[in-house]
Amino acid sequence: MTIARAATLPRGALVARAWAGLGDAVAPLSNAAGRPLTRTVKLILDPLVLRPVLNPEFAAGAIAAAHADALTSRIADAGPVLAATASWFVVLKKERRRRWITEGNPQDLYFQRCFELATGHGEPGPDAAAVAATVLEEVHGREGPTVAALRDFVTDPANVDGLTRLLDTAWADRVAPAPGPVATSSFLATCAVTPDREAFRALVTGLAGSAGAVDLDLPGVARAHGLTDRDRPVRPGLGRGASKANLPKPFDRSILERLFAPLTNAFQRAGLADVPTLVRREIARSAGPWQLADEESRLVVVLGRDASASLAGDAPVGGPGSAAARLRSRWEREAYVHRVLRMPSAVPPEVRADVRGVREAYLRRLWVRVHGRELRHDTVTADQVWDVLDGVLRSVILDQRDRLRSVLEREAVA
Amino acid sequence: MRVTRGADIVVGDWPSSPEVVALLEGAGASLAWDVLTDAAVPAARVHDPVRASEWLWEVYGDAADAILGGAEEVDVPVVDSPIRDACRRVAQLTWARAWWPASVTAGVPALDPVVLNAELAVAVSTVEHLLDDPEAVERALAVVSPPLSQPGLAEQVAALAEDYGVELAPAEAPTRSGFALAAGGGDGVSGVAALSGSSSVDWSLVPHGVVDAAAPARWAVVRRQGRTALEVSVVPGPTPLARLAARFGEVEVALDGRDAAGRITGSAPVSAAVLLLPPDRRVLTVYAPDFAEPTPPDPAAEARRAAIVSYARSRLDSPTATVTERTAR
């Protein structure tokens, strides 16, 4: 890897400098060190100010010196809007506190709303409290689909027969996906740094994701993927209830259980379809390859399967810098971090399955993530694949750490 | 500082033994301070140069360019860097949570886990923009359990919890029962000790806080009423509630008793042949069976542990120490 050093500057440094120039006005969007919050970058600066999708010269990493001034002045120009965004955030937080709202992360829920308000209204005026109240009602209101509405709908005797017939038909009409080439290795070789959008599109149009599901109905295959406890996947039920702590494996979840988690999260709930639509789509989805609806999502699962193949094995698959090599390096790093954090080396029985079955846990979490994105129509793009593949492993690993720690603490309190 | 390039780029001397490492997991690179050398500038291990380039300049200044650009040696000016200091605070508290050597016998008081978790959440929030885990603040807040008696800290944590939408759950913190009991006392052995000795406890074989970090585990081969038994005792730490066992040669002893002085004890019948073991095999290894398998001791570890104990003692009134360290009781 060669980066022409003298000719580039780290984007983080340029953003930090430009951000510092905005002063205290943006403090509500900054951390204690005065840098923009992670979510300020992710939800405001990237998608609304720098927009690297349209301006590839502003993408994360090294910025060519020629574009450095353009980047900093873009942030400086957005100064008034960003300052107003920060003021709106303070107003919304205050109103949230007044109403005893505790649901969701305010940064996730309000940052983009605040930017919209700042763009439309400028700084908060005398009517700020009323505007804030309206926004909070929209965000937290009963408008979106709720778990209660979902449960009522799928258990309503008036619906049960029709929905069950729909499920039966969808599963009876299932067509085995056509076998085909699933050549993921060239995309995976570079997706972390220079994702090949053409290759991704070719895999999507070639139905590689569906083709990768061809064996799932063979005995034991879906189970080896960690997606079911059964020998083969069976038609899901509609379901009557769900509990977050006790969800079965993805293919063993009822229709209600599949929709349950996304509906309990305020940030994810925004923008979901109405309950009847969600349920009908979920029924159709459950009969598709990988029990997913979009070819992109299916492909991401296949990419994750291939990239995670060497997590637990002996020989790494894929060359240096490939997604497989990077995932494996994260996993190997974790063994070291465990020693440094004085985590158990003899694994307690409660979490043994996770550690031994890291790949299964990985595929499970990946399925849940792409499923959630399907519901929000937030299809994974070629550029986002690596973040998804890496983020899923990180989250599996960190949850494992939390679980180990709580086992230790439980022992200490017991 | 030296820069070596293999699968990762390594800056400086990465500390080798886990118990001295104060670690920070940044995006694309990890930082490590060796608590015993206490240098201002950390060692780094860069595994994703693109992600790391976003923030490495905050820690290494202009040298970050050269580190990522192929230099074999870089000069890192030691200038004031609030971000580096904040990274250090996160790393220091992470270290303390794992390795703080609470010991009645050595005069190192236990840390208050409530203060530690709160201070860690605040420190994490200061550098959240460069951490590997995008949800690090929420994760850190999830284990904070008020009430907090430090006024400044309590307010900072409350504000953070509000900013991140986390409801702080008052929870039962691990108790410190039994910690004061075990100071001093006799050798706890009745009967005729035919042979006795002691070995220091390998910290990595027991969870944090279970045994006194400085007191050695004692063993004695005792003849009583015509039988031979191996008796073992170890001084408990502030949270002495994990199941312990000891291994001596081939002999396995469950440590499931308490003596009058509060020590954790165990005893197992042995054949008199144990007396014939050569001295180098008379080594007692204390371990927590649910936590680690016994491993042969590292000969350098005992001196390192002693050094860490005196380092911890020096932190109690050090102005650069964390609140957590300074409020240890």
Mean pLDDT of chain A: 89
Peptide bond preceding B294 in cis form (omega within 30 of 0): no
Task: Among A1, A104, A326, select the one facing B49 at the smallest CB separation.
Answer: A1
The CA distance from A68 to A57, in Å, is 9
Residue finishing a domain among B36, B58, B81: B81
- pLDDT greater than 50 at residue A7: yes
Return the pLDDT at B185: 45
Give yes or no for residue A342 having a pLDDT over 70.
yes
In chain A, the residue whose alpha carbon lies closest to the alpha carbon of B160 is: A31
Query: Would you state the pLDDT for residue B282?
Result: 86
pLDDT of A336 > 50? The answer is yes
d(CA A305, CA B36) in angstroms, rounded, equals 43
Q: Which helix (H) or strand (E) is A88 found in, with range?
A: helix A79-98
Return the pLDDT at A262: 84
Q: Is B133 on the interface with A (CB under 8 A)?
A: yes
Structure tokens that stand for A207 in this block: 């139905």
Give the H/E segment covering residue B182.
none
Provide the sign of the torsion angle of the four alpha carbons B166, B168, B172, B178, taken in this order.
positive
pLDDT score recorded for residue A176? 84
Rounded mean pLDDT of A129-139? 90
**CA dist., res. A326 & res. A191, Å (int):** 11
Percent over 90 (pLDDT), chain A: 69
CA A157 – CA B88 distance, rounded (Å)? 60
B50/A60 touch (CB, cutoff 8 Å), yes or no:
yes
A51-99 pLDDT tens trace: 988 888 898 778 899 999 999 999 999 999 999 999 999 999 999 999 9
**Are B174 and A409 inside 8 Å of each other by CB?**
yes
Looking at the domain assignment, is residue B329 inside a domain?
no
**pLDDT of amino acid A350:** 60
For residues B123 and B141, the answer to whether their CB atoms sit within 8 Å is no
pLDDT at B57: 92
CA distance A46 to B107: 52
Domain ranges of chain A: 1-141, 174-235+287-413
Reported as a pLDDT band with limits 50, 70 and 90, residue A272 is confident
Q: By the 8 A CB rule, do B165 and B152 touch?
A: no
Residue B65, in any domain of the structure: yes
The pLDDT value given to residue B177: 46
* A342, A386, A388, A398: best to mutate for the B interface, most B CBs within 10 A: A342
Question: Phi and psi (nearest 5°) for B286?
Answer: -90, 135
Range of the domain at B72: 3-81
Where does a domain end: B172, B200, B223?
Answer: B172
> A411 falls in which pLDDT band (50, 70, 90)?
low
Cβ neighbour number for residue A370 with a 10 Å cutoff: 24
In the prediction, which pLDDT does A56 show?
Answer: 87
In this predicted structure, what is the pLDDT of residue B150? 85
Task: Tell me, yes or no, whether B228 lies in a domain.
Answer: yes
Please indicate whether, in this complex, the C-beta atoms of B293 and A345 are within 8 angstroms of each other: yes
Residues B299 and B198 in one domain: yes
Question: Is B252 domain-assigned?
Answer: yes
CB contact under 8 A, B241 and A105: no
Q: How many domains does chain B have?
A: 3
Sheet holding B284-287, edge to edge: B251-255, B244-248, B284-287
* pLDDT confidence band for A140 (50 / 70 / 90): confident
Q: Is B162 part of a structural domain of the chain?
A: yes
Residue A317 clears pLDDT 80, i.e. is over it: no
Q: How many of the other CB atoms lie within 10 Å of CB of A100?
A: 6
Q: Would the CB atoms of A346 and B66 count as touching at under 8 Å? A: no
If you write DSSP's letter for every residue of B36-51 in order, what string do you get?
A: TT--SSPEEEES-HHH
Token couple for B139 = 């994760």
A394 or B81: which carries more pLDDT confidence? A394
In a domain, B95, yes or no: no
ipTM above 0.85, yes or no: yes
Structure tokens at B61: 């200044």
Is B54 in contact with A60 (Cβ distance < 8 A)?
A: yes
Q: What is the mean pLDDT of residues A337-363?
A: 80
pLDDT at A182: 80
CA angle B257, B260, B264 (to 5 degrees): 35
pLDDT at A392: 97
B27 domain residue, yes or no: yes
Q: Specify the higher pLDDT residue, A351 or B226.
A: B226
Helix (H, G, I), strand (E, B) or coil at B217: strand
In this prediction, residue A241 carries a pLDDT of 82
Amino acid sitting at position A203: L
- The DSSP bridge pattern shows strands B21-26 and B9-11 to be unpaired
Report yes or no on B289 lying in a domain. Answer: yes
Pick A368 or B148 by higher pLDDT: A368
| Tally of residues, chain A | 414
Partner residue facing A106 (CB), from B129, B132, B163: B163
- Residue ranges, chain B, pLDDT below 50: 174-188
Q: C-alpha angle with apex B87: B82 to B92, nearest 5 degrees?
A: 120
Looking at residue A242, what is its pLDDT?
80
